[in-house]
Every structure is written in C-alpha cells, then in structure tokens.
Structure 1
C-alpha cells in the first residue's frame, strides 16, 4: 500500500479554474475523507487522483511514483462509484473476477482473489446470484469486492452510499470501516455527508470552492475549527452562530443571551459567537426565546428556538423536554464558546 501526495494541484476547464493549488499529504494506510458542499471540487479532486481528470498543473504522487501524467490503469488505484455498474448477466463471482479475467490472469488466481474478497465482505452466500437478486447494499459490496481483487495501492470511493436508504447507509458505513481495518489500505473517500466523514475518517479534508479550508482528525475539526465555515459544516446539528459586539469590559453583548466573556478581543469589534447545541442549557423559567419546534429522537431532543435575529438549536436530554410554544431562556457554557471575525469568518483565538 502507498500514501498519496498532492503538490500545488490545479484544475482548469478552459479559463475557469475549479481546483486552486491543493497541497495535501495522505499517509500510507490512512482513511482520508474529502468533504464539502456540492460543487466544492471534492469529486473532481478524487478523479484527478484516479487519472479520470487531467491535472492542469502541479504533481500527484502515489508512493514513490509521480503519476500525474499516467493513465488510470497504471496508477495502482481502484475506484468505487456512486452507481454499482455491475454486469446484470454475470453472477457475483463473475462480476468480481471479470477485470482480472480481461487482464489475462490465471483462473486459479482469480478464484483465490475472489474467494478472499468474498470472505472479507461476507458475500460467500451470494456468489452464484446475479445482481437483480441482491439488495442495494449487497450490490455495493460486490462493487467494492471488484476493487479489492485488483489489489490496488489506493482505494477511491466517490459517494458510494448516496443511493442507499438510511438503514443501509449505516450498515455500509460499518462495512467500509471494517474493510479498512481488515486490509489496512490507503483509502480516499468523497462525501457531502459530514456524518459519514466523522464516523469513517482518520483525516478529514474540508473543501470549499476548490480550496482546502482545514485538514485534521474528525474531533480536532469538531473541537478546534479554523473558521466559521468549518465550524458550521462539521457537526450535526450544526453550530449556532449569533452576532455580537465586544464591550469595554472584555465581554460580548449577544442579543437574546446577554453578555459572555471574550478576553483579549478589542472593544467595539463585531464578532460572531459560535455555540454548539450540546453546550447550551435551557432555563424553562425564562422568557427570551419561544420554542418553535422540538425534534425528539428518543434519548435526545433538538429544540429550535426563535428570538432576536438568529435561530438557535439546543440539545436536551433527561426527563424534561421543552415543548412547542414554551418560552425559555438559554445559558451557553462559557468554556465552549467560539469567536469568529464578523467580516472574514476566521477564528479569533
């Protein structure tokens, strides 16, 4: 297995530049997730690593090899797409081994590799079935198995779970995490779903408009975001943001909440205060905010509050849960406040 290094990678379509000088190092055996909103360039970047998109400038290395101008078949990568793209007239066994057969591998070698991939993906009972007799999750496992038998240096996943229903998505997340643990391969995974990113990744790369906003371990990005975009994108529900002004006393006057400590910030500065839902306490005796909606998920509820110019979501646990129409006050935990520049969105530390 090999790591992947991108040096000042650029992609242009004519005069339009969509990838802006990406520098990134993915270690050998690492599970790296590209995440970001639609149109941020994450799939384009993945396809550049695969060789399916030409790199306009910069360099891509896989292991010790510069693969920037290599054909996809020479790069030592295998890609799993959003669609399964299985041959409907072939069995599961034939689908997984077809690529090796076309490349002239011996029948015994193909059988051995297919059997090993089937064991890893728990497909032994389905090897003689055709795709029409499989569920969506099973078809995607066959697609992954087809990649495994090739023995690639790097696995590339392009939103492989987006066509599955909610239950199968959870099941397949577990399957992919187990696969990475079992074979220890370098994997690059593209998704717009930050829950997938948080649960699968060793390293998350947050992209916006063809640029890297931040790179780090999932909990590092969650606890220590560099800017308002990352803070709002990582976490579900997302971080709450309210505008305020720094006072002479080293505090921020936040409408609907009151003053919160903000040592080290210049008086008069306009800032955005970030608060995660789990770091806010509801005071049912207050009257500042009206409960617009309470989403109960069993062990936890997410309470949507109206008040001032900002909507705020608060996490509630325990026996007492706020109800629609209640009026409440809120108290953020001062140990978990984030401050961002109101103009640039950059974190103020």
Structure 2
C-alpha cells in the first residue's frame, strides 16, 4: 500500500478548466471517498490518478514515485469501474486471471493469486461460471477480484455500486469495508451518494465544480462543516436552511415564528441577514403553541420524516423517532435544540463561528 499526493493538480478540456488546483494527500492504507454532485470532477480526478486522463499542470505521486507522466500500467493502481467489463465468454476464474496471463505470470502463481482473491470475496462456488450466470453483486465481486490479483499499491473505484439495487448496494458496502480491513490497502472511491461516503470512508473529500470544499473524517464533516454546501450535502436527509436576521445580539428566524436563537458565534451588526442551518433530528415537539403546517409524513418504520411548511413558505424536514404523527395531522408545534444551530453567511456561504 502507498500514499497518494496531488499538488496543484489541474485539468483543462480546451479552454474549459474542470479541475482547479487540487492539493490533496491520502495516507497509505486510507479508505478515501471522493463525493459531490454530478459534474463536480470526482471521476475526472480519479482518472487523473489512474493515468487515464492527462494532467494539465501540477504533480501526482504514488508512494515516493512521481507518476505525473507515467503510463497507467506503471502506476501500481487497479481500477474497478461502474460497468463490470467482464469477458462474457470467459469463466470467473478466466476473467480474474486474464491480466496475469497477459503479463506472463507463472501458472502456479496465477492459481495462488486467484484462489486467494476468490476466498476473500467468497467466489469459490462460482469460479467455473460465466458472467451471464451471476447476479449483479457477484459480477461486481469478480471485477474487484480481478483488481485484487494484480496486487496493486492503490485501488481505485469509480461508482462501482450504482448499477446495483438498494439491498445489494448495502451488502456490497459492507463487503468493501471488510475487504479494506482485510487487505489494509489504500482505496480511493468515487460516489455521488453521501450515505456510501459516510458509511465506508476514513477520509471524505467533498468536491464542487472541480474544487475541494472540505476534507475530513465523516463525523468531522457532519459535525463541523466549513460552509453551507458541505453542511447540506453531508447528512440524510439534508440540513434545513432558513433565512434569519441579527437583532439585539440574537438570531431571529422568521420562518420559525421569530424564535430567538442565542449564539456563541461572533455575530455581525444588527440587521445583518444570515442563514440558519438545523438538522432534522434537532427539532422536538413543543407543548407551547408554535404551529407548523404538515405537508407530507414519510413513515419508515423506526423513524419518520415530517415535511413541513413555515410561515414564510420555506420547506422544513424534521425527524421523529418512537411516537410518530399519524397521517392526516395538519399542524405540529415545534421547538428546537438551540445548541445545535449552525450559522452561515448569506454571501460567502461560509460558517459563522
């Protein structure tokens, strides 16, 4: 396993810059996830590390080696794509061993490597089957096995679970976490699904428009986002954002019926407009009249999400556990945990601390 470093890495397509001076260091053995909305540059960045996209400027290192201009085959990486890219006429064993045969690896070593990978991925019963006789999850495990047998320094995953159904995605997330623990390898994983990022990553890199917004552990990003974008992207359902104004050293939130929110942050002058961020679980039902109109209630078993409309027309989602509202309820009285409120600047979207 090796570390991966990018120094002021950029990527242009003609006159259009899609990656803007990325500086990033991934420690050896880390499970690092690139996450962000479609078009943010996460797959492009992964392909730059793999050598499948030329870098416009900057440097990329894997371990102690500068691989900025190195051929993909010389970088010591193995990539698992969204599509399985298996040879349909070959068995599982033949698919996993094909790259080794092309590199003229001795036969006994190939058998040893394939057997080792199939044991890790529980593919032994399927080694003589062809891809058409496998489920989607099994095919993806074969694609991962093909990467394992190469013994790479770094594994690269480009949205490998997006073609699977919801239940299989959950299973494969757990399998990938176990695989990382067993191999101890450096893994870089691209996804647009922040739930995948939160559940698997040691380190998350949040990208927007080709720039890094924040890097940190899942809980760091969840509990201490640097700006409104990260706060809204990390967490499911996302954070609620409401307009607010500073009055007499407190935060007044019109959408919350002018609840006054004291703050430990250094507040700007009275009259300054801010954005208040509140996560769904930080609302509680109140005994005091503070009614909000109920739009939709989503019952998910142990948890329910109540979609509300504020007096100012803003949308709000709250989380309920235990006793829940019945469908047909028109209003609910709310209070909030004021210690959990976050503040953001309306112009820069940076956190106000």
In structure 2, what is the Cα distance between the partners aligned to 1:25 and 1:125? 39
**Cα shift at 1:318:** 1.2
In structure 1, what is the Cα distance between the partners aligned to 2:80 and 2:294? 44
Question: Does the CA contact (< 8 Å) of 1:252 and 1:261 recur in 2?
Answer: no
In structure 2, what is the Cα distance between the partners aligned to 1:335 and 1:322? 29
Equivalence for 1:343? 347
In structure 2, what is the Cα distance between the partners aligned to 1:252 and 1:66? 53
In structure 2, what is the Cα distance between the partners aligned to 1:249 and 1:58? 46
Unaligned runs of 5+ in 2: none
In structure 1, what is the Cα distance between the partners aligned to 2:141 and 2:194? 22
Equivalence for 2:324? 320
**Cα shift at 1:41:** 0.2
Residue-by-residue CA offset, 1:259-293 (whole Å, 9 max, x unaligned)? 11134202211100000001111237635311111
Which runs of 4 or more aligned residues in structure 1 lie more than 4 Å from their structure 2 counterparts after TM superposition? none
Asked if 1:260 corresponds to 2:261, the answer is yes
Structure 1 residues 262 and 144, CA gap change in structure 2 (3 angstroms) = same
Question: Does the CA contact (< 8 Å) of 1:91 and 1:129 recur in 2?
Answer: yes
Residue-by-residue CA offset, 1:138-170 (whole Å, 9 max, x unaligned)? 000000000000000000000000000001000
In structure 2, what is the Cα distance between the partners aligned to 1:83 and 1:284? 53
Q: CA RMSD in A?
A: 1.1
TM-score by length of 2: 0.97
In structure 2, what is the Cα distance between the partners aligned to 1:275 and 1:40? 25
Question: Does the CA contact (< 8 Å) of 2:100 and 2:110 recur in 1?
Answer: yes
Question: Does the CA contact (< 8 Å) of 1:154 and 1:186 recur in 2?
Answer: yes
The one of 305, 308, 318 equivalent to 2:308 is 305
Further displaced range: 251-260 or 130-139: 251-260
Question: Does the CA contact (< 8 Å) of 1:291 and 1:322 recur in 2?
Answer: no
Residue-by-residue CA offset, 1:237-280 (whole Å, 9 max, x unaligned)? 00000001010133334333421113420221110000000111
In structure 1, what is the Cα distance between the partners aligned to 2:314 and 2:152? 49
**Cα shift at 1:48:** 0.1
In structure 2, what is the Cα distance between the partners aligned to 1:249 and 1:85? 60
In structure 2, what is the Cα distance between the partners aligned to 1:147 and 1:190? 16
In structure 2, what is the Cα distance between the partners aligned to 1:209 and 1:321? 40
Asked if 1:184 corresponds to 2:184, the answer is yes
3-state SS, counterpart of residue 255 of structure 1: helix
In structure 1, what is the Cα distance between the partners aligned to 2:252 and 2:352? 13
In structure 1, what is the Cα distance between the partners aligned to 2:158 and 2:42? 9
Question: Does the CA contact (< 8 Å) of 2:250 and 2:260 recur in 1?
Answer: no
3-state SS, counterpart of residue 88 of structure 2: coil
In structure 2, what is the Cα distance between the partners aligned to 1:282 and 1:58? 53
Asked if 1:334 corresponds to 2:335, the answer is no
Equivalence for 1:153? 153
**Cα shift at 1:322:** 4.9
Further displaced range: 314-323 or 57-66: 314-323
**Cα shift at 1:178:** 0.5
TM-score by length of 1: 0.98
Question: Does the CA contact (< 8 Å) of 2:244 and 2:251 recur in 1?
Answer: no
In structure 1, what is the Cα distance between the partners aligned to 2:328 and 2:202? 39
In structure 1, what is the Cα distance between the partners aligned to 2:236 and 2:249? 33
Question: Does the CA contact (< 8 Å) of 2:306 and 2:318 recur in 1?
Answer: yes
